[in-house]
């Protein structure tokens, strides 16, 4: 049953505009220009980040009975994914672009919402159902916490794509070697920090059908490994992933 709900910051015109920026770049075919691929890849990743956040924000009032532990895991991972994404950029991506100077404005933008994101993670940690002292979860508190930083973060991710414009990278003296080295470093770091059996299905569930992302993942990774991991290790979580869109089909829980 379709339900009209207040989606808070997700309905903010700046957030909608920013998401359009990511999507309209990411939907293009793979650019032949290696420089243009940098912006294209990041636009697709930013789309996945925002889709994951949309899923947990909207599903906060669509949690199945006695299933909060699954929702909590998806929500915590989605918010932490954004936090980790920016931590990874600062430590393993930005430094390769003119010694980090090219991305300094974007890195400074991180500081504008880094602390509020940590506050959201702290709230989720306080309601962690695996802890004996867990507090009750309130969708209104969770959404209010996300609303404090989502607009700023969305605008930042759009601005970052401007910095990664192909011609801007070329004028700034960034080399193909710089970009390839950054990509390799990010890949190694990501593989060492992500729990693949949970992270891969969640990411792939946030990829629009018409996106070619992640391009490095072979066909069997997308169509065999990912579903296998989802069903074997995170079956209960799948209903809260972005592509499930339960909020469009089910009535919300009582207001909380």
79 within 8 A of 113, measured Cβ to Cβ:
no
pTM to 2 decimal places: 0.94
Residue 36 in domain: yes
Residue 255 in domain: no
Residue 217 in domain: yes
Task: Write out the DSSP string of 29-88.
Answer: PPPSSHHHHHHHHHHHHHHHHHHHHHHHHHHTT-PPTT-HHHHHHHHHHHHHHHHHHHHH
pLDDT in tens, 65-94: 899 999 999 999 999 999 999 999 999 999
Residue 185 in domain: yes
Residue 21 in domain: yes
Residue 208 in domain: yes
What pLDDT, on a 0 to 100 scale, did the predictor assign at position 65? 86
The proportion of the chain whose per-residue pLDDT surpasses 90, expressed as a percent, equals 80
Two tokens, residue 53: 């956040």
Task: Write out the DSSP string of 152-192.
Answer: HHHHHHHHHHHHT-HHHHHHTT--HHHHHHHHHHHHHHHHH
Which residue segment(s) compose the domain that 239 sits in?
Answer: 8-248
pLDDT in tens, 141-190: 999 999 999 999 999 999 999 999 999 999 999 999 999 999 999 999 99
Structural domain count of the chain: 1
Residue 100 has pLDDT above 70, yes or no: no
Please tell me what DSSP assigns to residue 135: P
Residue 3 in domain: no
């Amino acid at each position: 049953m379709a339900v009209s709900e207040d989606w808070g910051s997700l309905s903010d015109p700046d957030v909608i505009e920013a998401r359009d920026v990511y999507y309209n770049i990411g939907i293009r075919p793979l650019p032949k220009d290696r420089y243009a691929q940098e912006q294209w890849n990041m636009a697709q990743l930013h789309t996945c980040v925002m889709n994951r956040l949309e899923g947990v924000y909207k599903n906060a009032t669509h949690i199945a009975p006695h299933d909060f532990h699954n929702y909590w895991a998806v929500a915590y991972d989605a918010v932490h994914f954004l936090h980790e994404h920016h931590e990874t950029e600062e430590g393993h991506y930005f430094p390769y672009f003119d010694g980090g100077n090219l991305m300094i404005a974007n890195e400074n933008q991180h500081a504008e919402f880094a602390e509020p994101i940590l506050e959201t993670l702290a709230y989720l940690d306080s309601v962690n159902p695996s802890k004996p002292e867990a507090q009750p979860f309130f969708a209104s508190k969770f959404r209010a916490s996300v609303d404090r930083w989502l607009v700023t973060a969305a605008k930042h991710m759009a601005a970052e794509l401007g910095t990664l414009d192909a011609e801007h990278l070329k004028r700034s003296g960034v080399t193909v070697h710089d970009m390839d080295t950054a990509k390799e470093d990010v890949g190694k770091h990501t593989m060492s920090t992500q729990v693949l059996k949970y992270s891969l299905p969640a990411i792939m569930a946030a990829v629009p059908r018409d996106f070619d992302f992640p391009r490095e993942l072979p066909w069997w990774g997308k169509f065999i490994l990912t579903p296998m991991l989802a069903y074997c290790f995170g079956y209960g979580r799948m209903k809260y992933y972005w592509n499930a869109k339960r909020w469009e089909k089910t009535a919300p829980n009582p207001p909380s």
